[in-house]
Amino acid sequence: MCISIDIQRKIYNVEHHRIVVITGDSSSQEVISKVSELSKGKSVLIMHDGDHHKEQVLKDLQNYSKFVSLNSYFIVEDGIIDLFKPGDSLGSHREGPLAAVEQFLAKNRDFMADMERERYILTYNPRGFLKRIR
């Protein structure tokens, strides 16, 4: 099962029986509890495409990584924004998803960046395919 959490779904047109869509604030205890309940006894992949500021991505990694099954993934979208400068149309003045992933991986040995998922070299998710290894 893939769990997708986003604060709003204005532009979202994906439907699949294995994707569970949760709309709400990823930091709220209500959403975290719902993901916890849905994850029990299931093989779970989490896909993060929410707030792209480093602080929020790091909070979400800490809150939701425990629900990811062994050998499954926590996919962090849009880390590419950290590779551009402000004014380059993608860059920002604040650190984003890639910076959060680097900090998370430095402290969490249960995950590794699976570079095999970036086999085509170009990706919007550099180092964003986090595989649970223990």
Does an H or E element contain 96, and which?
Answer: none
CATH class of 2-132: alpha beta
- Domains of the chain, residue spans: 2-132
Residues 29, 112, 119, 17, CA torsion sign: negative
In tens digits, the chain (134 residues) has pLDDT values of: 999 888 888 877 788 999 998 989 999 999 999 999 999 999 999 999 888 899 999 999 999 999 999 999 999 998 888 888 877 777 777 899 999 999 999 999 999 999 999 877 788 888 999 999 99
Residue pair 35/5 in contact by the 8 Å Cβ criterion: yes
Cut 0.85: pTM above it: yes
